[in-house]
Amino acid sequence: MSIICCFQDNPKMPVFPIISLKSEVREYLKSVFLNKELLAAVGHQEAEQRFERLLACLSHPPSHTCVRASTHLAPLDEIRQRLREELKKQLCSSSAEVPVEIVPHPCIPDVLLLPVDGPRPVQQLQSGVVVGALCGSAVLRGAHVYAPGIVASPKFMKAGDVVSVFSDIDGRCTRGATSFQGHKVFVGNGVAEMDRAAIFCTKEPLKGVGVRMTEPLYQSPSFDGVLPNLAFLQNLPSVVVGHVLGPCLGERVLDICAAPGGKTCHIASLMKDQGEVVALDKIRNKIERVRQNAQMLQLQSIKVFCFDGVKAVSSDTEKLKETDGPPFPPESFDRVLLDAPCSGLGQRPNMANTWSLKEICSYQPLQRKLFQAAVSLLKKGGVLVYSTCTVTLAENEEQVAWALKTFPYLTLQPQEPHIGAEGMPGAGLSPEQLRLLQRFSPELSWEQTQANTPLPDRASTDTIGFFIAKFLKT
Ligand SMILES: C[S@@+](CC[C@H](N)C(=O)[O-])C[C@H]1O[C@@H](n2cnc3c(N)ncnc32)[C@H](O)[C@@H]1O
């Protein structure tokens, strides 16, 4: 069964599948979005509509690509100009219409926005390649299909064949299959750059582009190899996190869950590479990405360690003597970022989430342990920013309520910039406290997005789902 994007009278009004969730997860999320406090604030009908809109917008990509410009290396205007030239070259070398409109964000000084055109009326072909769901989502955000992402291809596929690309959204297709009748979504057409045998009958590690997208359903430029040191692809709320943390030159900052290092590099860039940014992550092969990104962006102030953030604080003087890395004594840092591991339910586009309710609900205890370590490592007078890319209360507003109760010396702080919505009622926080929180809620502006409002107006709201809280330790 394939699902094709089809169109009503308004070509910008897609009939595209809503995100598919396990029924227990859907019911749980519904109870979050129809909680008593929210119902009292907005009424049943509005709360229900918001929930339905959330399910719809999660399966669609945001209508812009966000680029964080390395303003520690060059001025924004220069980066914008060079990016335009690079993308024009891309336009000349392919038949695709690449938009060269590049707009600075109206209130974030290091952000450039590029419109995404879609969904476009692309005709599905006879011959089809099936890719994994992550690869399918990347294609919807402008990427080509990398060979490791291909799960199935036609039996006699040769380099040069024109093929349709489908995303195996439930992960059911067998690797190496020649066809797949399961739940798949059409994401566009492209040209195969490899024969089938080169993809499925090789012992070498697979790399490189397997299908070059020529007619993607959502058109946005491919950033593969485009000014890698100057233009860093990052979701807008993630860039907001760096500014909200507000690091200053010469400070010592801890990014306790850092990989792959997008926010670490932003923090070091905002500090003009002066001071020290310590990046920790528990997973060894992920931490290598932080090193690579720091090197690519020419940032020397970043120190990277593979370490469990929960154990990053110690008062044991013997242990501390052994190394200048973790564990650290309490009150070692001027600012701490806890960009927490989370259920990731705000990520877009995401057509299917196969997690159980138990998995979705498993993050709260770990986040609290990390939070405890983060608070302990922060100096008095220091700033702690907590963020997630999920939409549940349990990992966001409930964590804030818990933190304020558990650590009475923490106070919520206003955020700059504050371009998202305020916190969601449901965790017993006061209206004043909710106003200090920043929740990116794409469902609140979904109609505006579909009506194709001008890019700068919709860019701040048509984002992934995201949450930011800023605390001061007194
Ligand atoms: C949301 S991601 C961080 C993204 C990152 N801040 C960025 O902007 O590129 C969460 C990270 O936490 C890491 N993590 C999970 N448990 C951890 C722990 N106990 N200590 C340190 N890192 C952990 C995961 O490996 C994952 O890379």
ipTM: 0.99
Q: How does pLDDT run along the chain (474 residues), one tens digit per residue?
A: 444 443 333 444 444 688 999 999 999 999 999 999 999 999 999 999 999 999 999 999 999 999 999 999 999 999 999 999 999 887 776 555 555 789 999 999 999 999 998 889 999 998 899 999 999 999 999 899 999 999 999 999 999 999 999 999 889 999 999 999 988 999 999 999 999 999 999 888 899 999 999 999 999 888 888 999 999 999 999 999 999 999 999 999 999 999 999 999 999 999 999 999 999 999 999 999 999 999 999 999 999 999 999 999 998 877 777 678 999 999 999 999 999 999 999 999 998 899 999 999 999 999 999 999 999 999 999 999 999 999 999 999 999 999 999 999 999 999 999 999 999 999 999 999 999 999 999 999 887 766 677 888 888 899 999 999 999 999
Active site residue 248: no
Cβ of 237 closer than 6 Å to ligand 1, yes or no, is no
Phi/psi zone of residue 452: left (φ > 0), alpha (ψ -120 to 50 degrees), beta? left
Counted residue by residue, the chain has a size of 474
Which residues lie closer than 8 Å to 419 by C-beta, 6 or more apart? 107, 108, 240, 438, 460, 461
94, 19, 104, 123: which is closest to 64 by C-alpha? Answer: 104
List the end-to-end C-alpha distance of the chain, in Å, as a whole number.
Answer: 58
Distances (CA, A) of 412 to 238, 404, 415, 474: 19, 8, 9, 11
Number of H helices, E strands in the chain: 16, 23
Nearest atom in ligand 1 to 337's CA? 6
Domains defined along the chain, listed by start: 2-58 (no CATH), 128-216 (2.30.130.10), 236-473 (3.40.50.150)
Nearest atom in ligand 1 to 341's CA? 10
Cβ of 259 closer than 6 Å to ligand 1, yes or no, is yes
- Which residues are documented as binding site? 257-263, 281, 308, 339
Nearest atom in ligand 1 to 388's CA? 1
Round to whole Å and give the CA distance between 309 and 266: 20
CA angle, 415 then 420 then 423, to 5°: 75
3-state secondary structure of 21: strand
Cβ of 375 closer than 6 Å to ligand 1, yes or no, is no
Cβ of 310 closer than 6 Å to ligand 1, yes or no, is yes
Cβ of 341 closer than 6 Å to ligand 1, yes or no, is yes
For a mutational test of ligand 1's pocket, the pick from 234, 236, 253, 257, i.e. the residue with the most ligand atoms closer than 8 A to its C-beta, is 257
Nearest atom in ligand 1 to 370's CA? 19
- Options 66, 135, 173, 389, the catalytic residue: 389
CA angle, 109 then 350 then 356, to 5°: 125
Residue 471's beta-bridge partner residues? 384, 412
Confirm if 392 and 345 have CB atoms less than 8 A apart.
yes
- Which residues are documented as binding site for S-adenosyl-L-methionine? 257-263, 281, 308, 339
